[in-house]
Amino acid sequence: MRKAGKTRIICLVSSILLTFCIISCNENKVAYPSRQMPAGVTSDISKLKSGHELFLNKCAHCHGKSSEGRSDRAAFFKPAASDFTDSHYKDMDPAYLYWRIEVGKTVEPYRSQGSVMPAWGVHFSDEQIWKIVAYLQSRAH
Ligand code: HEC
């Protein structure tokens, strides 16, 4: 009997912990539209090159390395500008990266966090955004 009671308590505690974990995991998830990257962008060298140029012109002063013209100011952003050489960007959903480039700081939770990430959707074509996404994912290692 005592053993059964112990098992029941362990089960109860585990399910409470599991529920808590599921709730807190969901809180960190943001919803974004699903999109399909057009075929061939990641394998086309000229498209990756044009994504690289866009990155150098528009993004590197915040997200780049100092050799790419990153400004000193960028180090003080809170939240910090993401480092796209980080390996986790390789496996990230391209639709998420597309969406963040499109909407930048204009959506929650980034707006409330005080993000300075501009929204590029009005400045770039679909094709340009996909080229940048492909370049960012090729940059990660
Ligand atoms: C004024 C500085 C600034 C510029 C310019 C800028 N960003 Fe950002 N960006 C940020 C900051 C700060 C963050 C982190 C906060 C956030 O997620 O909103 C960020 C976040 C992002 C994210 C989300 C990364 C993640 O892990 O969730 C992507 C993608 C991104 N930027 C892409 C770009 C691209 C592409 C460009 C150029 C077209 C660009 N950014 C230009 C400051 C900048």
Per-residue pLDDT 10s for the chain (141 aa) are: 567 778 787 767 666 555 555 545 545 589 999 999 999 999 999 999 999 999 999 999 999 999 999 999 999 999 999 999 999 999 999 999 999 999 999 999 999 999 999 999 999 999 999 999 999 999 999
User: Residue 87 and residue 90: Cα distance in Å, rounded?
Assistant: 6
Closest ligand 1 atom to 89 CA: 26
pLDDT of res. 1: 54
H helices of 29-85, in order, are 45-54, 60-63
Give a three-class secondary structure readout of 69-119.
CCCHHHHHCCCCCCCCCCHHHCCCCHHHHHHHHHHHHHCCCHHHHCCCCCC
Copy the structure tokens of residue 119: 């929204």
pLDDT of res. 79: 97
- Residue pair 14/78 in contact by the 8 Å Cβ criterion: no
Local structure of 6: helix, strand or coil: helix
Residue nearest to atom 37 of ligand 1 (CA): 59
Nearest Cα to 133, choosing from 34, 38, 29, 31? 38
pLDDT of res. 50: 98
pLDDT of res. 72: 95
Backbone angles phi, psi at 52, to 5 degrees: -65, -45
Whether residue 116 has its Cβ less than 6 Å from ligand 1: yes
User: What separation in Å is there between the alpha carbon of 8 and the centre of ligand 1?
Assistant: 48
pLDDT of res. 8: 82
pLDDT of res. 28: 57
pLDDT of res. 7: 78
Indicate the top mutation candidate among 72, 117, 123 to test ligand 1's pocket, ranked by most ligand atoms within 8 A of CB.
Answer: 117
Contacts of 94 (CB under 8 A, 6+ apart): 35, 37, 130, 133, 134, 137
